[in-house]
Amino acid sequence: MAESQPYRVLARKYRPQTFAELIGQDAMVQTLGNAIRNGRLAHAFLLTGVRGVGKTSTARLIAKALNCVGPDGQGGPTIDPCGQCEPCRAIAEGRHIDVIEMDAASHTGIDDIREIIEAARYAAVSARYKIYIIDEVHMLSKAAFNGLLKTLEEPPAHVKFLFATTEVNKVPVTVLSRCQRFDLRRISADQLAAHFGRVAEAEGVSAEPEALALVARAAEGSARDGLSILDQAIAHAGTEGSGMVTAAQVRDMLGLSDRGAIRRLFAVLLAGQATEALAALRAQHDMGVEPAAVLRALLEIVHGVTLRRVGTPGDPAQSDEERQAYADWAAGLSFAALHRLWQLLLKGHDETTRAALPLETAEMALLRVIHASGLPDPGALAERLAGAAAGAPAASSAPPSSGAAPAAQFPADFRAMIDLVERSGRRQIALQLHDCVGLQRYAPPLLAIRPARPLPSDFNRDLAAALKAATGADWTITTDDGAAEPSLIEQQRAAETAARDAILAAPLVRAALDAFPDAELIDYRPRDARSA
């Protein structure tokens, strides 16, 4: 009976064998393909990125691309290595004599680099290029880097260096300047979930889409980490006999909170129901969810609701129920309330991760959120204090109203709004509004403008703050290059030009100019302007 093959983990079994299988790195593949087709190959490549995005796999693919000879043995370097010729198979199996892999974590010294320098002098045995792949290159010693510099700058024509690192900031700039650098991006959660779905299908395993989305989120952009989690999830599903990887199993395996339960907890926080909030936190803790994970999930909700508030499309990985809840919260919560929730929960998360009593610390953080929800808005409090200082009836002694605030009083038009901003002391912003922007839409508290000349990067933020202070409402300021009215200063100049042209066209003035050809109309201003 044939001996059974040892099990290979998914992260190794599904390592990319072609550039087409390398997910999330299209820009790098296109650049490399153009370089190969145009014969502009660098002598050293530096691949950097977070763990598990495919740095070492990419290095091996580049080695294949440079040494592939095609099925007929007559091919040259190609971005699509055949995978059938002897160089391709030998590199894939890690046995090619001219492709040398070295782990810089265990070979850090100058002696290891001297071996490379000496060997680099000799031609490749059977390949087109002798290739050195050095993983975690940032761990080489200073002496080792210095010893490599000369060979790295002027290597023999038959030698290529491929460096991989997760900490490119630790690589000396003298090395960086001698390499063609590729920054491999984090892989998006959507791409990872789709990839894990294909892997599960190839393994003959059924998986819920939500389960794959949870695995993708937990992977944090790393394909290798995600495949390891998926491997564990498949084993977990097999032990329960269902053969189906479910979202509940993944949450239980990773100690993740139930998203529905977290939404309910967020709802009771907003309602100020302390007893129910503490009970919900305890329930999650009893299920094995860490208190810090609960607070992190609440932070994700606040972030998601804030993105919906500014008009960002919903996450396609969310359920319809979750998207609807986010939309409802975004419609009912102001930016000030969302920012305050974020700061309170972020502080609570930080305290919980460092606390000796995590559960109790998380409970106190939730109570602080509930208590802060009853405090007056800082803007309203400032107005109340200003009114009291001016002798207005003190409203601070009255209990806070539970109803909606009275509607803000908005300026009648754009010009009146600019006057209000100037009267509030923000003269520079008022001047920029008058001279540098064209109006697209004025529908308080919405203002859409088109810059006529460059504005400061924080102009919209400062303008919204000035209008908030002046009107008490949260304003939304948008800018784009669409059609807009001329700026007010342009309108003013156009009116002055039209008035001047009308005067010059008057018969009496024309007769005067004909009689005195050198005469000019100077210092013209409308009558209202002269009397001002």
308 has a pLDDT exceeding 60: yes
**Residue 279 φ/ψ, nearest 5 degrees:** -65, -40
Instruction: Give the mean model confidence (pLDDT) for residues 13-23.
Output: 86
Q: What confidence score (pLDDT) does residue 347 get?
A: 93
Q: What confidence score (pLDDT) does residue 73 get?
A: 85
DSSP for 179-214 reads: SEEEEPPPPPHHHHHHHHHHHHHHTT-EE-HHHHHH
Instruction: Give the mean model confidence (pLDDT) for residues 318-341.
Output: 84
132 has a pLDDT exceeding 90: yes
Q: What confidence score (pLDDT) does residue 1 get?
A: 42
Q: What confidence score (pLDDT) does residue 521 get?
A: 66
Selected residue with higher pLDDT from 214 and 374 = 214
- Matching fold, domains 10-183 and 189-254: no
The predicted-structure confidence for 207-224, as pLDDT tens digits, reads as follows 888 889 888 888 888 888
Mean of all residue pLDDT scores within the chain: 83
Of 503, 431, 506, 445, residue with least CA distance to 474 = 445
Of 133, 396, 370, residue with least CA distance to 267 = 370
| Other Cβ atoms closer than 10 A to 325 | 22
CA 338, 340, 341, 345 torsion-angle sign = positive
405 has a pLDDT exceeding 70: no
237 has a pLDDT exceeding 70: yes
Q: What confidence score (pLDDT) does residue 356 get?
A: 92
The predicted-structure confidence for 248-302, as pLDDT tens digits, reads as follows 888 778 766 677 888 899 999 988 889 999 999 998 888 888 999 999 999 999 9
Q: Where are the domains of the chain?
A: 10-183, 189-254, 259-372, 414-479, 492-531
CA gap 379, 277 in Å, rounded: 28
Q: What confidence score (pLDDT) does residue 139 get?
A: 92
pTM reported for the whole predicted model = 0.57
Place of tokens 């510099």: 149
Q: What confidence score (pLDDT) does residue 394 get?
A: 41
Instruction: Give the mean model confidence (pLDDT) for residues 59-84.
Output: 89
Q: What confidence score (pLDDT) does residue 529 get?
A: 46
Tell me if residue 79 falls in helix, strand or coil.
coil
CATH number of 189-254: 1.10.8.60
User: 131 falls in which pLDDT band (50, 70, 90)?
Assistant: very high
Q: What confidence score (pLDDT) does residue 388 get?
A: 57
CATH class of segment(s) 259-372: mainly alpha
426 has a pLDDT exceeding 90: no
Least confident of 400-409, 432-441, 514-523: 400-409
CA gap 401, 376 in Å, rounded: 10
User: 392 falls in which pLDDT band (50, 70, 90)?
Assistant: very low
Selected residue with higher pLDDT from 164 and 390 = 164
CA gap 56, 66 in Å, rounded: 15
**Helix, strand, coil shares of the chain as percentages rounded to 5?**
55, 10, 35
Q: What confidence score (pLDDT) does residue 317 get?
A: 60
Q: What confidence score (pLDDT) does residue 291 get?
A: 92
Q: What share of the chain has pLDDT > 70, as a percent?
A: 87
Place domain 10-183 in its CATH homologous superfamily: P-loop containing nucleotide triphosphate hydrolases (3.40.50.300)
Q: What confidence score (pLDDT) does residue 531 get?
A: 43
CA gap 296, 265 in Å, rounded: 13
Of 182, 66, 176, residue with least CA distance to 129 = 66
408 has a pLDDT exceeding 60: no
Helix axes 358-372, 259-271, angle to 10 degrees: 50
User: 526 falls in which pLDDT band (50, 70, 90)?
Assistant: low
Instruction: Give the mean model confidence (pLDDT) for residues 312-319.
Output: 69
Least confident of 123-127, 427-431, 456-460: 456-460
Number of alpha carbons in the 13 Å side-chain half-sphere of residue 406: 4
In DSSP terms, which residues pair with 207 in a beta bridge?
245
Instruction: Give the mean model confidence (pLDDT) for residues 443-453.
Output: 87
